[in-house]
Amino acid sequence: MGWLLKTGAFLFAIVLFGAGAWELTLLIFAWLFLPPLLRLRRPKQASQDAGRPRGKFPVRNVLGGLLFLLAFAGLLSHGTFSPLVFGSLGALVLLWGKVTVAVLGSEMKPVEESILLRSSPIPLSWAAVAEVKLLTHDVGRAMAGVTGTVLVSASGTPSIYVVVERRATGERSAEETVLAALRETALSLSPLGAYLLPLDSKQAMALLRPSLEASEVGDGDWFTALASGTYDVLSIRQEGGFASSLGMHGRVDQGREGRGGVPPSSHDFAHPPFLMEVYKAVGNRLSWPQPDQCTAFLSSLLATSGEPIGTRVVEAGPASQSQMVVVKSQGSPPVELSRAQLRAVVRIYDKATR
Each residue of 27-48: pLDDT tens digit?
Answer: 676 666 666 655 554 544 444 4
pLDDT range class, residue 125, cuts 50, 70, 90: confident
- 113-117, 218-222, 268-272, 294-298: which range is least confident on average? 218-222
What is the per-residue pLDDT across 73-95, written as a single tens digit (0 to 9) for each? Answer: 666 666 666 667 667 766 766 66
Q: Is the pLDDT of residue 171 over 50?
A: yes
As a whole number, the mean pLDDT across the chain is 81
CA torsion sign for 22, 27, 28, 32 is positive
Binning the chain into helix, strand and coil, the percentages to the nearest 5 are 45, 20, 35
Angle, nearest 10°, between helix axes 22-39 and 3-18? 140
For residue 46, what pLDDT is reported? 40
Q: Is the pLDDT of residue 98 over 60?
A: no
What backbone phi and psi angles, to 5 degrees, belong to 287? -100, 125
What are the angstrom distances between the C-alpha of 49 and each of 38, 46, 54, 280, 349? 22, 5, 11, 30, 20
Cis, bond preceding 334 (omega within 30 deg of 0): no
What three-state secondary structure class fits 182?
helix
**Helix-then-strand count for the chain, H and E:** 14, 13
What three-state secondary structure class fits 165?
strand
Q: What percent of the chain has pLDDT over 70?
A: 68
Q: Averaged over 125-137, what is the pLDDT? A: 94
For residue 213, what pLDDT is reported? 86
Asked if residues 131 and 163 have their Cβ atoms less than 8 Å apart, the reply is no
For residue 126, what pLDDT is reported? 92
Q: Is the pLDDT of residue 14 over 90?
A: no
Q: Is the pLDDT of residue 200 over 70?
A: yes
This prediction has a pTM of: 0.73
pLDDT range class, residue 65, cuts 50, 70, 90: low
Check residues 152 and 260 and name the one with the higher pLDDT. 152
The vertex-254 CA angle with 248 and 260, nearest 5°, equals: 65
Asked if residues 147 and 182 have their Cβ atoms less than 8 Å apart, the reply is no
- Distance in angstroms (rounded) separating the CA atoms of residues 175 and 168: 9
Q: Averaged over 310-335, what is the pLDDT? A: 86
pLDDT range class, residue 155, cuts 50, 70, 90: confident
> Which stretch, 207-211, 310-314, 336-340, has highest mean pLDDT?
336-340
Bridge partners of residue 315, in order along the sequence: 327
- Distance in angstroms (rounded) separating the CA atoms of residues 14 and 350: 41
What three-state secondary structure class fits 192?
helix
- Distance in angstroms (rounded) separating the CA atoms of residues 199 and 176: 16
Pairing between β-strand 242-251 and β-strand 212-215 as defined by DSSP bridges? antiparallel
